[in-house]
Amino acid sequence: GNHHVTMFVRTAAVGFCLLSLIAAKTMSKASAIGTTLLLMVGLMQIRQNRWAIVRTHRWAWVRTFYKHMAIYHFAWKLDRAYKRLPTPVDATKVLPGGSELLDQILANGPDTYQKKTSNRLQIESLMDCVCNLVADVRQNGVTPLVLDIGAGKALFTRAVYEALDRKVSVVALDSRRPKKKSHKTGDQFYDPVSVKESDMPYTRVIADVRYLAAKTLGPLRASRNGGTVAITKHLCGGATDGSIIALCKEPLDNFVGACCFAPCCHQKLRKDQYCNISYLESIGFCQTHIGLRGGVQDNDFTTFSKLISMAKAAELRDWEYKKSTILELLGFARASQLGRQARRLLEEGRIRYLQDHGFDAYLVRYCDESITGDNLAIIARKKR
């Protein structure tokens, strides 16, 4: 891809030089200078309009040529941006005794898909990350509380509660209302059946983190001034961004002192949901332009999603993406590589958003990629 971009740039440069030489040989000095200036102004105008004269040309082969060059240029930009990113910190250490703890919870809990070995291995590692953050919050002299956003069936939430010996309050926050027991599928949670008076509270709250009412914050009040450790495990698509934005503004910004976010499903993320488009724009992505039919377009974010989706597959079937120009030009292996790089770039934007809002934030690799492709987590601590 880089070779094609380089050849395109060189060809354009050579063409420009040849036109300038022809002008110098066949015209007077003044005419040659004027022609060269006109060519330079024309090229600058084309670039300023994001190649609109080529991109929306009435000849299909011209538009196709532009599309191919745009894909190669996108790949070059993504390679360049990825090379500048720091390597994620290794955090694959699992919590000692975490496996036995999960065995006990699962033995007495419902039979759900969360029993999968891959899910257990992820939880064991993330538990260690969360327990370390809770210890940090304690050292700051505030009462810790763990807030699991998008808790769902709450196996991760419950595992953290037990790993902390029920000595730290835990809130399982989820916007979904439980189904009635009479429903054919029901709702099976891993919430503890009983909590002793000597235990710290375990609370399930039904609410959307983006729109918390004052009464919803009741369980968090003891952990003001940075005592809350916000956690997520595979919070899907734009839900991670919605949570990050919510934690960085009132009322939650007064509670949250640390975060552990393990995102997933980046291919489902929409541009209007992403928390840091300005970061992507600053490195040359997501600049809008007017399309062939007059509408405003941003092909970059769509391309991010498509590449990330491809990167999730070990191989593609014949019918998948069979009309994809990206696959036609780059091949599946290269497209998958770019998809992993795109996912890393989106995480970098989230990290920088947190940094801009008073957190020390960085990325960790919490499990091997063979367990899950979504093996990166954002760790953040509020600056004091």
Q: What pLDDT does 297 receive?
A: 61
- Rounded to the nearest 10 degrees, the angle between the axes of helix 117-139 and helix 98-107 is 120
Q: What pLDDT does 6 receive?
A: 45
- Measure the CA–CA gap between 230 and 212, rounded to whole angstroms: 15
Q: Map residue 31 onto helix, strand or coil.
A: helix
Name the token pair of 264. Answer: 């997933």
Q: What pLDDT does 249 receive?
A: 92
Phi, psi of 305, rounded to the nearest 5 degrees: -60, -45
b (16+ CB within 10 A) / e for 106-123: beebeeeebeeeebbbbb
Contacts of 127 (CB under 8 A, 6+ apart): 94, 95, 98, 156, 159, 160, 163
Q: What pLDDT does 1 receive?
A: 45
Report how far apart, in Å, the C-alpha atoms of 88 and of each of 46, 80, 121, 351, 366 are: 39, 17, 19, 12, 9
What is the per-residue DSSP string for 37-77? HHHHHHHHHHHHTTTHHHHT-SSHHHHHHHHHHHHHHHHHH
Q: Are 364 and 100 in contact (CB under 8 A)?
A: no
Name the token pair of 384. Answer: 């004091």
pTM for the full model?
0.83
Digitized pLDDT (tens) for each residue of the chain, 384 residues in all: 444 444 444 445 445 454 455 555 565 666 656 666 665 655 555 455 555 666 666 677 677 777 888 889 899 999 999 999 999 999 999 999 999 999 999 998 888 888 899 999 999 999 999 999 999 999 888 999 999 999 989 999 999 999 999 999 999 999 887 766 544 555 678 999 899 999 999 999 998 888 887 777 888 888 988 999 999 998 888 999 999 999 999 889 999 999 999 999 999 999 999 999 999 999 999 876 555 555 556 788 999 999 999 898 877 776 566 678 888 889 889 999 999 999 999 999 999 999 999 999 999 999 999 999 999 999 999 998
- Measure the CA–CA gap between 234 and 375, rounded to whole angstroms: 10
